[in-house]
Amino acid sequence: MTPAITASNVTYIYPGTRALDDASFTIPRGSVTALVGPNGAGKTTLLRCLAGLDRPLTGAIQVAGIDVLEDPRAAHARMGYLSDFFGIYEALTVRQCLSHAASGHGVPAPALRTTVERTAARLNLGDRLHQRCSELSRGLRQRVAIGQAIVHTPEVLLLDEPAAGLDPEARHTLAGLFTQLCAEGMTLVVSSHILAELDEYSTHMLVLRGGRIVEHRALAAPYAGGQRVRVVLAAEQQDWHAALKEMEGVQVMEHTPREAVLLIAGNAADQARVLRALVEAGIAVAAFAGESENLHDSYLRTVQGAPRP
């Protein structure tokens, strides 16, 4: 199956700044990719290039099998895009804004009413269709902007800080929407600084730093270094983790006098070996269990281990 997005050797240069540096990656269909990185990493520039709004100095980009640089209009019909500084027509009603966006993306006139009302319902805007956008709060205007991006049911959806300005309840609703869209086969790329929210629905992580791809992997994939295991002691014991550093295939990721997170190479038998060694060393282990790494931990581990550009 053709990937939803393919970027090959994409380089983008602002005066005096290489915003993207030979970036290459593929994004599978039906995934939700968390695009993360520090400020100035190139996230917004990358999204704008994927959307065909900025043309890179070198490289090629395909979205839904269409060359974005050669045929941007055809690509736009297959994608939705929400910028970090979105724009809506404040003099229009919510219905008019969504209808205008749907028409611009080729939704036929007979289907406009149904399409608009379905989109409004997805974003809890059904009771706001008659209101002018100028009368809405910042959070509600954000929902309208997201509605404009998905009203034509695109194959690929690019979102730059979509939860900015939304209250906690609206953010939770938005996470549910993204999960639903993914289940329906839509591919999402979401840039955000709120990693805890991305963790709710992301299937993949793409880390940018200094315009370069630092890491790109499925979040459910096993770690190349082995299995993460959290060890908790029955009582505090100073320097107990020192014994772990001498064990083959064991890396201490975090530690305190009471607990530690280990990366243990190998299989379950190797984990049992480590547990047995701890007990034989007289260390009172209260808990020893594998754990999944959340997006925040995964991101920190990646950027802390990556060389600075």
- Tens digit of pLDDT for each residue in 70-86? 999 999 999 999 998 88
- Distance (Å, rounded) from C-alpha 47 to C-alpha 70? 17
Q: Which SS3 state, helix, strand or coil, does residue 257 take?
A: coil
Q: Determine contact, residues 198/172, Cβ cutoff 8 Å.
A: no
Q: Using 70 as the pLDDT threshold, list the residues of the chain that sit under it.
A: 220-225, 292-294, 296-297, 300-309
Residue length of the chain: 309
Q: Helical H runs in 83-206?
A: 94-104, 112-122, 138-150, 168-183, 195-201
Edge-to-edge strands, sheet with 58-63:
17-27, 5-14, 58-63, 66-67
Q: Say whether pTM exceeds 0.95.
A: no
- Distance (Å, rounded) from C-alpha 195 to C-alpha 172? 13
- Distance (Å, rounded) from C-alpha 276 to C-alpha 175? 42
pLDDT at 87: 83
Position of tokens 């880390």?
A: 207
pLDDT at 255: 86
How many of the other CB atoms lie within 10 Å of CB of 265?
15
Q: Can you spell out the DSSP letters for 202-217?
A: -SEEEEEETTEEEEEE
Measured in Å, how far apart are the chain's first and last C-alpha atoms? 34
Position of tokens 């591919």?
A: 187
pLDDT at 165: 72
Phi, psi of 80 (to 5 degrees): -120, 150
pLDDT at 243: 80
- Distance (Å, rounded) from C-alpha 250 to C-alpha 259? 15
Q: What tokens were used for 159?
A: 């979102």
Q: Determine contact, residues 271/227, Cβ cutoff 8 Å.
A: yes
CA neighbor of 198 nearest in space, from 237, 232, 163, 153: 163
pLDDT (tens digit, 9 = 90+) per residue, 163-195?
A: 877 788 888 888 888 998 998 899 999 998 878
Position of tokens 């399409």?
A: 115
Mean pLDDT of the chain: 89
As a dihedral over the C-alpha atoms of residue 151, residue 156, residue 157, residue 158, rounded to 10 degrees, the angle is -140
- Distance (Å, rounded) from C-alpha 19 to C-alpha 25? 16
pLDDT at 304: 62
How many of the other CB atoms lie within 10 Å of CB of 133?
19
- Distance (Å, rounded) from C-alpha 9 to C-alpha 1? 22
